[in-house]
Amino acid sequence: MKRILALFLGAALGFVATHSDGRQPVAPGTASTDVVTPSTPAGKQLAWFLDYLNGKAQLIDPAERFSETFLKQVPGEKLTAILASAKSTIFKDGAKLTAIKPGATDSNLVAIVQGGETLLEVSVGTDASGKMEGLLLKPALPPKAILNSWTQFDEKLAALPGQTNFAAYSVTTSSDGTFSLKPVHTVRPELCLATGSTFKLYVLGTISEQILAGTAKWDEQIKVMDELKSLPGGVMQNEPAGKEFPLSEFAAKMISISDNTATDHLIHRAGRENIEKYAAGFNSCAARSTPFMKTMEMFRIKLSPDKTLATRFAAADEAGRRTLLAPGGEVSKSQPDITLAEKWTIPIEIERVEWFSSANDLCNAMLKLHGFELKPGMDELKRVLRINGGIPFDKKIWPSVAYKGGSEPGVINLTWLLERNDGALFAVSIGWNDTKASVDTSIMVGLARGMTDLLAKEPIVNEQK
């Protein structure tokens, strides 16, 4: 936590925050009465941070609040932009302190803070002068579902409104070195559902394929372009046009914090048609995601002041959609209504305007990336996939966790490639769509956490001969 700032910004496409359908969550074990910040250096900085999020304080000079070491890693201008983005997204309705976790000291504490329907753990660390040298925001996880069998898992999945799919496969290796998937447990694995940001696995796969072919490089420099900036989640929308980053940085942010601006730059770099071709090779639902949208195009469609645009795009055939997306087309001319974004809680055309895959498809997407990451020069791919495991895993049981998830109102998907401590490898994907209401992310995360306990007990599968 020390000497680093990490803000996982909640957004329509980024799975990072637990929320519920209008219900205000309370941290487990906390009372309903107001919680007071401690009168310690860390407590005073937490109090300031809460005042900032609630519009009662400003960040005029970052050096007044943050240590020199901190600001060397996160320059003041970037820090100001990140905090402002958090304030206008996760905490647009204010921030409420609901608990201080046990173990707090004068210089370190962990608080549970509620922003709208989101619960976050906020870790604050201070140096000898009382300035912040650490500020970490991450999701406060819901309780793990207690599951003793796959039958119990099925019952809980079936109780969710809308549609769900699930697939857990063991990864086996044949004598010629090729991988295949052997079912462990599945529930409607072929059902095509909207996936939110999990579609970014196809972008990463296309880029990886191009790197292996020598037409792209991890260290090639890519310029930030204003025309490719998207809405949060992420931070790259705050970077000035013309600033360069290596392709690997765009990939890391796209996967680890679901950065939409990084994603749109990579879609541009890879080529829309190339991604479509790559995904069509093993995505049974690829036609429903064609043409392959950039994230900003989705925002322009669903959050357009023209309420008919989403309906017309959904009803159009592929040629009609390409016309709408073309330079100078209606989508490119549409500007997302930020006031609509701030109030976006009701699903919008999730069964027709989204990125679609089945649970089986996404497990295969992870399997294909696993094949890529084992090839020479692809260590960066292995790193990118494992920066953020989505939920905490016991590293003694699961030493290697590759992950991508996604969500928007009415949509959530969680997809993993999990390596167990005995060498067993599992590809797992779980999805939930509800066209009528926002899905309860906390239920899905709790169910996923319980599911990993079942996988931990699965017998190891011998390699195929």
User: For 102-120, how does the pLDDT look when each residue is reduced to its tens digit (9 = 90+)?
Assistant: 999 999 999 999 887 677 8
> Is the pLDDT reported for residue 17 higher than 90?
no
Read off the pLDDT band of 1 (50, 70, 90): very low
Residue 116 has a pLDDT of: 76
- Cα 16 to Cα 10: distance, rounded to the nearest angstrom: 6
C-alpha 200/C-alpha 370 separation (Å) is 15
Looking at the predicted structure, is the pLDDT value of residue 12 above 50? no
What mean pLDDT is predicted for residues 273-291?
A: 97
Give ranges for CATH 3.40.710.10 in the chain: 160-456
- CATH for 5-139 is 3.10.450.280
Q: How is residue 276 written in tokens?
A: 């479509």
Helix (H) or strand (E) holding 44: helix 41-53
Q: How far is CA 294 from CA 185, 217, 331, 413, 441, in A?
A: 33, 22, 11, 18, 24
Answer whether 236's CB lies under 8 Å from 210's CB.
no
Query: Residue 115's pLDDT is what?
Result: 84
pLDDT of residue 117: 65
Amino acid in position 458: E
From 97-111, 200-214, 264-278, 282-296, the region with the lowest mean pLDDT: 97-111
- How do residues 42-77 score in pLDDT, each as one tens digit? 999 999 999 999 999 999 999 999 999 899 888 898
Instruction: Give residue 463's pLDDT.
Output: 53
Residue 67 backbone dihedrals phi, psi, to 5 degrees: -70, 160
Nearest to 259 by CA among 346, 388, 362: 388
Q: What is the pLDDT of residue 21?
A: 27
Average pLDDT for 157-164: 97
Q: Compute the radius of gyration of the chain from its Cα atoms.
A: 22
What pLDDT is attached to residue 81?
86
How buried is 213 (Cβ within 10 angstroms: 0-12 exposed, 13-18 middle, 19+ buried)?
Answer: exposed
Residue 184 · residue 458 · CB < 8 Å? yes
SS3 199: helix
pLDDT tens-digit readout, 205-251: 999 999 999 999 999 999 999 999 999 888 899 899 999 999 999 99
* pLDDT value of position 461: 66
Residues paired with 114 in a beta bridge = 96, 119
Question: Given a cut of 60, is residue 11 above it in pLDDT?
Answer: no
- Distance (Å, whole) CA 320 – CA 160: 35
Who wins on pLDDT, 112 or 7?
112
- Position 387 confidence tier, pLDDT thresholds 50, 70, 90: very high
- pLDDT interval class at 31 (50, 70, 90): very low
Compute how many other C-beta atoms are within 10 angstroms of the C-beta atom of residue 314. Answer: 15
Which CA distances in Å does 163 have to 74, 188, 192, 390, 410? Answer: 42, 10, 10, 22, 10
Percent of the chain with pLDDT over 90: 74
Residue 295 predicted with pLDDT over 50:
yes
**C-beta of residue 99 within 8 angstroms of C-beta of residue 27:** yes
CATH 3.10.450.280 domain locations along the chain? 5-139
pLDDT recorded at residue 176: 80
Instruction: Determine how many CB atoms are found less than 10 A away from the CB of residue 288.
Output: 16
For residues 136-150, give the mean pLDDT.
85
Query: Reduced to 3 states, what is the DSSP secondary structure of residue 193?
Result: strand
The whole-angstrom separation of Cα 217 and Cα 331 is: 31
Residue 388 reports pLDDT greater than 70:
yes
Residue with tokens 């205000």, as numbered in its chain: 24
Q: Evaluate whether 125 touches 134 at the Cβ level (below 8 Å).
A: yes
Residues in contact with 243: Cβ distance below 8 Å, sequence separation at least 6, in sequence order: 223, 224
CATH topology of domain 160-456: Beta-lactamase (3.40.710)
State both tokens at 305. 């002041």
Give which of 46, 55, 124, 146 is closest to 93, Cα–Cα: 55
Q: Residue 7 above 60 pLDDT? A: no
Cα separation, 364 vs 367, whole angstroms: 5
Question: What is the biggest distance separating any 2 CA atoms in the chain, rounded to whole angstroms?
Answer: 66
The larger pLDDT score, comparing residue 367 to residue 32, is at 367
pLDDT over 80 at 359, yes or no: yes
**Is the pLDDT assigned to residue 413 strictly greater than 70?**
yes
Please, what is the average pLDDT of the chain? 89
How many angstroms separate the CA atoms of 293 and 197, rounded?
11
